[in-house]
Structure 1
Amino acid sequence: MKTTKGSKAKAIFVALGIVLLFLGIQGVIGAAGSVGASYIHYAQTGETFKDQAEYMDYISEILTVLQFVGEIACIAVFGLWYYLGSVRKDKKQGTYESGLKKIANVKSIAFLTFTALGFYAFVLIVSNVIAALIPGSRELFGQIMGLISGGNQVIAVLTVALLAPFAEELAFRAVMLKNSKKSFEIVGCVILSAVMFGLMHMNPLQSIYAMPLGLALAFVAYKYNSVVPAIIMHAINNTVAIALPSLMGRALSNIEAAIMCVVFLALAAFIYKKLPIETKQAENTEVAA
């Protein structure tokens, strides 16, 4: 596919716009919810907050719900954008194929699961390296996650394990990847999606470790010509990140993570070679649903 510098620049600007829109949707909902909560607090008590600490304690109770609502809003916006810009067109042209159908086999499910587990371990190692190189980055990340998950734990888990993968994949591996295919080959598409995915997280630790995960998710979406495998892989990754430390009562050590990474990525590479040929020959078409 031949491209021009102008079309590549446009794809990059569109990608930046998608990041800003994603953050803007959640920012507006967060700001509106915080203001509304402050108003309700004043209406109920007739008092304003005594200091910033009291305000943050109060807001932390509702941030989990606001994050939940923000992810739903992003799913609605980017899901509609994706449907109108890609799925509906493919259905009209008779070229639409369900992403669920593409992965409805044991080999694909195993490949996605092993890849998700392998990259979970790899990202864990990367995060430990970043934490050592950038003092305070782990503490900042912990504070952010503490605020998001400080309310209802069921809502927090649903948000991180399910809604966030849906919202982020629709934005970064559906809308963004589809648009970038007009200007880049697979390498450019995958890198652009991964870099923007990292930037979206807006804190050093998460932004850096999200990039290799973003590379894997974009590669899978590109190769399968579908966002569905990326959503499933992302959901597995996030669920394991929540469940495994809880089950073990501690985080994996670097040695355990390294063994897990090598074993599962080796299995994923082995299975990938045996996947149906059609999943590997989607490089010249747009991402389907």
Structure 2
Amino acid sequence: MKKTGNYLTITFPFLLALALQILGAFWGVIIYGVVMGIQMSAQGTLDINNIQDIANGALNPQILLGISAAIGIVDIVVFSIWLKKQKKSGDILVKADKLDTKGIVLILILGVCIQISLSIILTVISNLRPDWFDGYGELIDSLGMGNTFISFLYVGLVAPIAEELIFRGVTFNKARKYMPFLAANFAQALLFGIYHMNLIQGLYAFAMGLSFGLIRRAYSLIGAILLHMTVNIAGMTLDYILPEQILNNHIAVSILFLLTGAAVTAILLYAGKQVKNIQEEEPVYHIMDSYDDN
């Protein structure tokens, strides 16, 4: 029973992040409605017909993106405090090498290659099964993902920091307390995928979560944040990175996919070798549990 309880505690950061997201979205929309109502009232334009306009305005993609950014900032504060408490209590088994210049360069290359490979895979799948992407397309549109400042702020900076603190920070640390690295990495990546609440996003978030976890262990949490930022920013600027002539050429795209896929594989294998050089204590919970069970 104690072992089961220990495993369940791994989900606590995920559940808290989910609660903050739901409450933040609720209160964000409420506050927006109140502010707009006060503004219209001051202008003498508030009437029953404007209520629907206010409601529609609250669902504007840029407003929702701004609310998401505000929630992300709250996440950063909350989980930074939690992570600091874990460090103070010595409740961290995940150690890592120092992030040096070579590691930074490899992470930047890895992030761009992951995004290019992922974009090609998603494009191929969407052409074969467009019905799978109906909900995904609506989700991206609703979030207003684009090249605006608020998009860059949230997608490129706030979200990567917040999500890495939640999953490769607090969650990963808790998981490593009770299980080996591979199982802990799988657990945090699975929760990371579920957190996105969309099948398509969830699947590739799970795969990327495994990579982020490996980089976190090999190069520190800062390395995972840098990789996450690089992936997201590359996704926002992919149209500028890849000329349209390449994207419309099947042979060129195939060669590009092989090259980026090979680069991703090589860098992750290298990171795996780096991990072997890190001395890390193994969880001892199973020894304690064996006495408790008896």
- The correspondence for 1:186, drawn from 175, 181, 185, is 181
CA-CA distance at 1:13 after TM superposition: 2.0
Give the conservation status (yes or no) of the 8 Å contact 2:75–2:162: yes
Partners of 2:198 and 2:94 lie apart in 1 by 38
Alignment match, 1:62: 63
- Aligned CA distance change for structure 1 residues 135 and 117 (closer, same or farther; 3 Å): same
Percent identical across equivalent pairs?
A: 22
Alignment match, 2:222: 228
Alignment match, 1:119: 114
Aligned pair count reads: 272
Unpaired stretches in structure 1, ≥5 consecutive residues? none
Q: Does 1:104 align with 2:103?
A: no
- The correspondence for 2:156, drawn from 161, 167, 170, is 161
The one-letter code of the counterpart of 2:55 is Y
Secondary structure (helix, strand or coil) at the match of 1:72 reads helix
Aligned pairs for 1:132-171 within 5 A: 135-149=130-144, 153-171=148-166
Q: Runs of at least 4 residues of structure 1 off by over 6 A? A: 50-54
Aligned pairs for 1:1-289 within 5 A: 6-7=2-3, 9-43=4-38, 44=40, 45-48=45-48, 55-60=55-60, 61-86=62-87, 88-89=88-89, 102-106=98-102, 108-128=103-123, 131=126, 135-149=130-144, 153-224=148-219, 226-248=220-242, 252=247, 255=254, 257-268=256-267, 272=271, 280-284=277-281
CA-CA distance at 1:273 after TM superposition: 7.8
Secondary structure (helix, strand or coil) at the match of 2:179 reads coil
Q: CA RMSD in A?
A: 3.4
Once the two structures are superposed, what CA deviation does each residue of 1:126-174 show, in whole Å capped at 9, x if it has no partner? 4346545764442322322222227992021111011111000000001
CA-CA distance at 1:25 after TM superposition: 0.8
CA-CA distance at 1:177 after TM superposition: 0.6
Q: Which has the larger radius of gyration?
A: 2
Partners of 1:182 and 1:234 lie apart in 2 by 24
Give the conservation status (yes or no) of the 8 Å contact 2:116–2:238: no
Once the two structures are superposed, what CA deviation does each residue of 1:156-203 show, in whole Å capped at 9, x if it has no partner? 111101111100000000101100111111110111111111000001
CA-CA distance at 1:35 after TM superposition: 1.4
Partners of 2:135 and 2:172 lie apart in 1 by 30
